[in-house]
Amino acid sequence: MTLSSRTLRPVDPGLLSQALEVAGRLATDATDVITATAGRGARPTTKESPFDWVTDTDRTLERHTRRVLATEFPDIPVVGEEYGDDAGANGADYRWVVDPVDGTANYVAGIPWCSYSLALVDGDGPVVGVVADPYRGQIYTAGRGRGARANGTLVRVPARTRTAGSIVCTELSGGSAWPGLSRFLESAAAAHTGTRVLGSSALAVTQVALGHAVAAVLHGYREWDVAGALGVAGEAGAVVLDRSGGAATLPLDGLLVAAPDVADEVLAWWSGCRE
């Protein structure tokens, strides 16, 4: 079942338009900051492990995002990677979810593959999703019922009937291989499908929406890693499934995003490798 077949609660058109405009503006700001500073004196520190980076840019962009959202949407709480949850975020009708730099290790190293992600979320999942891909000069946006766009151009998941010759994206979980990853890679290879681990969960999901990848499988992540990208993928026509294979708009314990006609095949690879 694709997201488009689900009945999602309606959103006030004025709120939707304002949220899209503000989120797009913040993504543009983030693009400017990331491209100006990547790999050049970002003063990184670590959180839980030596590979769990946080930089001045992470903090600066999240503070800027929070200031703008507090002005434009004073009644909507914010959930962010660096500064946690605003009071009342749990159970609020709407919440903003932001990851200022997804792929911080790449950003620190100067590898051109990281993103800024922002989503407005309600009880049914992403209402608005925005992902900035600074190095490619692209901003991907989606609003519930309004489709997905790349720099303003409508995008749809292309029809795919086979995985052979395609790319599937995945990511490590907490910097480590997730249980069964090696068997997943073997299953994909046996189907003549390439697998890529590139370092940004948001961009991995977005590649499915753009048609660059046929699927993305993520074993471990946080809400802010994927909320914006799932909004884009769902509006582009991708299937979003949880770990059990059920349709979901914002699964929080493993997810598969795929072109509809190949979702079952990739899900079988994933199901067959769980430990």
Any known ligand binding at 81? yes
Of 93, 242, 232, the closest CA to residue 155 belongs to 232
Tell me the C-alpha distance between 111 and 38, whole Å. 8
Task: Give CA 148 to chain center in angstroms.
Answer: 13
With tokens 């990677």, the residue in question is 81
Any known ligand binding at 82? no
Q: Is 172 exposed, middle or buried (0-12, 13-18, 19+ CB in 10 A)?
A: middle
Sign of the C-alpha dihedral computed for residues 162, 165, 166 and 168 taken in this order: positive
Could you tell me the CA-to-CA distances from 9 to 3, 77, 139, 144, 203 in Å, in that order?
13, 20, 26, 9, 27
Q: Determine if residue 211 is left, alpha or beta; phi over 0 gives left, psi from -120 to 50 gives alpha, anything else beta.
A: left
Tell me the C-alpha distance between 145 and 103, whole Å. 29
Of 121, 159, 146, the closest CA to residue 238 belongs to 159
Any known ligand binding at 124? no
Of 209, 196, 58, the closest CA to residue 130 belongs to 209
Any known ligand binding at 102? yes
Encoding tokens for residue 201? Answer: 């969960």
- Binding-site residue numbers for Mg(2+) are 81, 99, 102, 225
- Binding-site residue numbers are 81, 99, 102, 225
